[in-house]
């Protein structure tokens, strides 16, 4: 027996991939050419798996603001938000996010992971209950585990199952936290938030929604699925990240509950980690403004999503249930998925290879995410990289 024994499955997969000459996990971006093109593992590719939804990573105004902050405030804060790491920029960004979401309170975190994990672990502890969607992101599961609340899972996006579980909880719903996502990260499907809000209002408890993949995409202001479903009033806490549509790194939680200002000092992932660097905060603030000033980015994103979705579906691939900036192709056979991921790279398209347990089912995924920065021609090149895979084999692999 050794501490390493439990890693044997991982070591075996790694060896198998090495033998096949494939490096899907931690593929190296050797040169980044633009928001949509790079040299990855030696191949010039269209980037189709970056979550760079609005394509803001090379935005001159963001870069200029980050460079100015770097020159004026240095490379890092060297401390936690609670100690020396709260600069004026952090406070300003919190105010700007609160205003954007039309909420009273906001906390800025160092990563989206720290935001979701921190809120989940702090809001509900021993004796409390967390009811969560079974397909929740690892940051939600990790928070729940750390907090020590009783955990109840409901079937993915199944509101009847959620209701059944809340009903069974009886009076315990008073200290229950319900956690769902807006757009789900792997398949790109949306939570039925109107129905979830109705059930939450009927049974009680608090509702937290992780809009990591929906910020800037849905709702009249781009606030996400809750805004699009017109149920923001039922959402107690919205969490999200700067690492996708805002093109940087960091996370946030917004809420109208005044308690958030005290809760901030109980969140371990806020207290015991250094705050985001001033340059990150500066670029995020500009990106948040640009996201609001340029609704055309969102329109472009959805047009690209539709184009890729139609293209892959037309080729006979099994795509996500809903058109979304995340377009995932499901492949039953893991080896087929690995081989195709590699072929796609050779064909000029970088996508994400997702295998169980990271995928929500026992299937593997070739997960694409589109960007507002993709041109029609680039989307067509992604489709043509898939076309060279022979989709009829895809259908066989799925039978």
Q: Given the rule CB under 6 A, which residues bind ligand PMP?
A: 111-113, 116, 137, 139, 181, 185, 210, 212-213, 241, 243, 251
Q: Which residues are CB-neighbours of 299 under 8 A, at least 6 positions away? A: none
Phi, psi of 192 (to 5 degrees): -75, 75
Which string of DSSP letters, residue by residue, matches 151-204? EEEE-TT-HHHHHHHHHHHGGGGGGEEEEEESB-TTT-PBP-HHHHHHHHHHH-
- 179/329 with CB nearer ligand PMP: 179
The strand pairing partners of 36, in sequence order, are: none
Which residues have C-beta within 8 Å of that of residue 386, sequence separation ≥ 6?
311, 312, 315, 317, 329, 344, 349
Q: How many residues does the chain have?
A: 399
37-40, strands of its sheet edge to edge:
29-32, 37-40, 43-47, 349-350
Give the residue at shortest CB distance from ligand PMP: 112
Query: Could you tell me the smallest distance in angstroms from the CB atom of residue 184 to ligand PMP?
Result: 7
Smallest distance from the beta carbon of 157 to ligand PMP, in angstroms?
14
- Measured from the CB of residue 309, what is the shortest distance to ligand PMP in angstroms? 20
Decide whether 54 or 315 has the Cβ nearer to ligand PMP.
54
Q: Could you tell me the smallest distance in angstroms from the CB atom of residue 335 to ligand PMP?
A: 25
How many angstroms separate the most distant Cα atoms in the chain?
59
Is the Cβ of residue 50 or residue 139 nearer to ligand PMP in the bound state? 139
Among residues 244, 277, 359, 364, the one annotated as catalytic is 244
- One of 213, 245, 275, 342 is an active-site residue; which one? 213
Tell me the C-alpha distance between 399 and 394, whole Å.
9
Q: Shortest gap between Cβ of 249 and ligand PMP (angstroms)?
A: 6
- Neighbouring CB atoms inside 10 A of 348's CB total 18
Q: How far is CA 331 from CA 216, 286, 309, 339, 395, in A?
A: 29, 39, 16, 11, 9
Nearest to 393 by CA among 328, 337, 326: 337
- Nearest-5° angle of CA 204, CA 198, CA 306? 135
The active-site residue, picked from 185, 214, 283, 369, is 185
244 is catalytic: yes
Place of tokens 């249930």: 321
Least separation in angstroms between CB 51 and ligand PMP: 7
CB of 115 or CB of 385, closer to ligand PMP:
115
Beta bridge partners of 365: 330, 354
Shortest distance (Å) from residue 368 CB to ligand PMP: 15
Sequence-distant (≥ 6) Cβ neighbours of residue 367 within 8 angstroms: 49, 186, 326, 327, 328, 329, 351, 352, 353, 354
Is 213 one of the catalytic residues? yes
Is 8 a known active-site residue? no
List residues with catalytic annotation.
Answer: 185, 213, 244
């Amino acid at each position: 027996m050794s501490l390493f024994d439990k890693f044997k499955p991982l070591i075996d997969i790694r060896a198998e991939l090495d033998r096949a000459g494939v490096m899907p996990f931690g593929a190296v971006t050797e040169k980044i050419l633009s928001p949509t093109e790079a040299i990855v593992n030696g191949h010039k590719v269209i980037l189709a798996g970056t979550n760079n939804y609005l394509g803001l990573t090379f935005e001159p105004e963001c870069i200029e603001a980050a460079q100015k902050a770097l020159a004026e405030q240095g490379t890092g804060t060297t401390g936690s938000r609670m100690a020396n790491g709260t600069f004026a920029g952090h406070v300003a960004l919190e105010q700007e996010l609160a205003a954007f979401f039309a909420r009273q309170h906001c906390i800025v975190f160092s990563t989206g992971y720290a935001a979701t994990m921190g809120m989940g672990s702090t809001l509900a502890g021993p004796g409390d209950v967390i009811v969560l969607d079974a397909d929740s992101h690892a940051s939600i599961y990790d928070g729940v585990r750390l907090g020590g609340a009783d955990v109840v899972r409901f079937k993915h996006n199944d509101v009847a199952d959620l209701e059944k579980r809340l009903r069974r909880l009886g009076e315990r719903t008073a200290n229950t936290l319900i956690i769902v996502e807006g757009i789900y990260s792997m398949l790109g499907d949306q939570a039925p938030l109107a129905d979830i809000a109705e059930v939450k209002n009927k049974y009680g408890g608090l509702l937290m929604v992780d809009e990591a993949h929906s910020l800037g995409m849905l709702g009249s202001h781009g606030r996400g699925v809750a805004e699009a479903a017109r149920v923001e009033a039922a959402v107690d806490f919205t969490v999200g990240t700067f690492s996708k549509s805002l093109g940087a790194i960091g996370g946030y939680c917004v809420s109208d509950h005044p308690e958030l200002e005290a809760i901030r000092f109980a969140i371990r992932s806020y207290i015991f980690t250094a705050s985001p660097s001033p340059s990150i905060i500066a670029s995020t603030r500009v990106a948040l403004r640009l996201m609001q000033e340029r609704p055309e980015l969102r329109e472009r994103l959805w047009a690209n999503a539709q184009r890729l979705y139609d293209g892959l579906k037309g080729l006979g691939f099994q795509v996500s249930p809903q058109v979304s900036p995340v377009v995932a192709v499901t492949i039953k056979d893991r080896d087929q998925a690995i081989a195709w991921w590699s072929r796609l790279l050779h064909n000029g398209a970088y996508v994400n290879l997702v295998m169980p347990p990271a995928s929500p089912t026992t299937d593997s995924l070739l997960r694409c995410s589109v960007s507002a920065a993709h041109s029609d021609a680039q989307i067509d090149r992604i489709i043509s990289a898939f076309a060279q895979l022979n989709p009829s084999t895809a259908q066989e692999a799925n039978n």
